[in-house]
Every structure is written in C-alpha cells, then in structure tokens.
Amino acid sequence: MRIAAFLATAVAASTATTALWGQEEIDAADFAGHWDRISPLESFGNTPGGTRGVELAQSTEAPFTAEGRARFDANEPGYGPRRQMERNDPLGRCEPMGLVRNLNVEIVAPHSTFEIVPTPGRIFQFFEYRHDWREIWMDGRSFPASEDIYPKWNGYSIGRIDGDTLIVESVGFDDRSWLDKLGYPHSEQMHIEERYRRVGPDRLELTVTITDPEIYSEPWQSDAKRFQLNRAKARAWDEQIYCIPAEETSFQQLIGTGNVID
C-alpha cells in the first residue's frame, strides 16, 4: 500500500514537472512577455469559416439559444461564410473590440498579440492591435457586488495560479462587442474563464470558456489557442497600432472604391 502511494506520488510529481517544463514552481512571472499567436483560428471556436489557410477537423456551430441565434443573425460580418458587403462589424468603425475579440484578433508576427506584465497583486495584459489593455487582479479579491458592476468593454477580471495554469475569471461586459470576426454575440451576463498554461519554455496555450445562458445554451469552450514568446520584443519599441477613425475610413474607401486618399 505504501509503495503504491509512493508510486502515485512519484508519477504525479513527474507529470507536474513535465507540465512545468522543468520548473519546481510556477507563478505569475512565468507568464510575462510578448506573446505572438501561432495557432490558425481567428475565431472564438472551431466554427464554420474560422480557419486561415489551414484545414482543421470538421467545424461545429455554437450552441445558440433562440435569443443567441437572433443576435447572431443580426450581426453582419465582412468575413467568413456569412460575409457580405452590407455589414455592421463594430471593428470597422474603430469601436472597442472587447476582451474576447482582443484575444482572437487576426494579428500575427511580427505584430505581437499581447504582452503580459505581472506586478505585485495585479497583472496587466496589453493588446498590441488597437493598443488596448486590461487588468487582472491577483490579490485574492472577489468581483464587485452585482449592483456595483457597470458593463465595460474588457470587463472585470480576477486571477489565480493553480498548478501550472493561470486561471482568469471575468464578468461585467458591454454587449456591443463581438466574440470574433464572424459575428458571434454575447450578453452583459457573459462569464469568461481563461486558462493560460505554459506548455514549453517559449509556448503558451490558452483556452477560453464562455458561460452566457442568454446567448448559449451551455458553456462554450474555445479551441486551444497557442502563442509563442517573442523575446526580441522585450527590447523593442512598442508598435502602437491605434484605430484612427479618419484613417480607417479613408483606407476602407481607398480599397473599396480605389484611388481615394482624403
């Protein structure tokens, strides 16, 4: 019995060591750095039209409620199987993308998807595209009382380290943002759980689970999004990709009609 317990402990320790890529312990500092997305999906999940040049396993549609389906139908994307010229993607108007779309944005290296900056009691996550950012409180606090939550684009986030994983929970979202470029909606009641896991010295894996009973009939988990650490970025000037409405509109007119620079 004692031997079995010892073996079980040894196996568990071995697994943990493998998961922590040789480290005995892990903390918020182990997630620091500039991370470039390397996985192919630019959508929240493996839904129809989510790939970029890479064929994945068969896609599946989101578990919509009736309200969710109606909201999805009202969103008119410019990309994917529902793309159309008459569109209402908030991104095209330089509106904030919201937390989930910040994590799903198309940007690839040499652009940085995001930088994680741990500080005592709080992690900052800077998104390069649109130069947006969010805070993740790591000081053990709880969410504000529901009557004190006012919907925000990136919500309210609290995090903790569990084994080799940084777990971040968020609530309180402005429901005008889309989850991704395909027009998947969410409500103000959306709850997000992000699980960041270091799967190698320069690799990070993220899965996101959305619980939003108004829009989705069951919790909906994203594909596993993979990121590579960009060590060179740590010494480089930031890029500052803002969305300037005048420049964005001018660019879209230029492309759409050809040959117009305002």
Half-sphere exposure of 52 (CA within 13 A, CB side): 16
- The window from 54-62, 107-115, 141-149, 187-195 that contacts other proteins (CB under 8 A) reads 107-115
Q: Residue 36: beta bridge partners?
A: 228
Nearer to other proteins, 91 or 136 (CB): 91
Per CB under 8 A, does 251 bind other proteins?
yes
* Buried/exposed code over 83-102 (b: 16+ C-beta within 10 A; e: otherwise): eeeeeebebeebbbbbbbbb
- Compute the least distance from the CB of residue 87 to other proteins, in Å: 5
Q: Which two tokens stand for residue 201?
A: 């010295």
Q: How many CB atoms lie within 10 A of CB 154?
A: 22
Q: How far apart are CA 89 and CA 79, in angstroms?
A: 10
User: Binding other proteins by CB under 8 A: which of 67, 106, 174, 202?
Assistant: 106
Residue 123 near residue 159 (C-beta atoms within 8 A): yes
- The window from 145-153, 160-168, 196-204, 238-246 that contacts other proteins (CB under 8 A) reads 238-246
Site for other proteins in 32-91 (CB under 8 A): 42, 52-53, 77-79, 83-91
Nearer to other proteins, 78 or 151 (CB): 78
Q: How far apart are CA 82 and CA 254, in angstroms?
A: 24
- Compute the least distance from the CB of residue 223 to other proteins, in Å: 16
Nearer to other proteins, 29 or 244 (CB): 244
Nearer to other proteins, 75 or 211 (CB): 75
Nearer to other proteins, 89 or 135 (CB): 89
- Compute the least distance from the CB of residue 72 to other proteins, in Å: 17
Per CB under 8 A, does 153 bind other proteins?
no
Label the pairing between strands 225-229 and 132-137.
unpaired
User: Binding other proteins by CB under 8 A: which of 62, 105, 116, 208?
Assistant: 105
Q: How far apart are CA 62 and CA 73, in angstroms?
A: 13
One DSSP character per residue, 60-84 reads ----B-HHHHHHHHH---SSSTT--
User: Binding other proteins by CB under 8 A: which of 12, 27, 93, 200?
Assistant: 93
Per CB under 8 A, does 14 bind other proteins?
no
The full length of the chain comes to: 262
Contacting positions for other proteins (CB under 8 A):
42, 52-53, 77-79, 83-93, 105-111, 129, 181, 236, 239-244, 247-248, 251-252, 254-259, 261
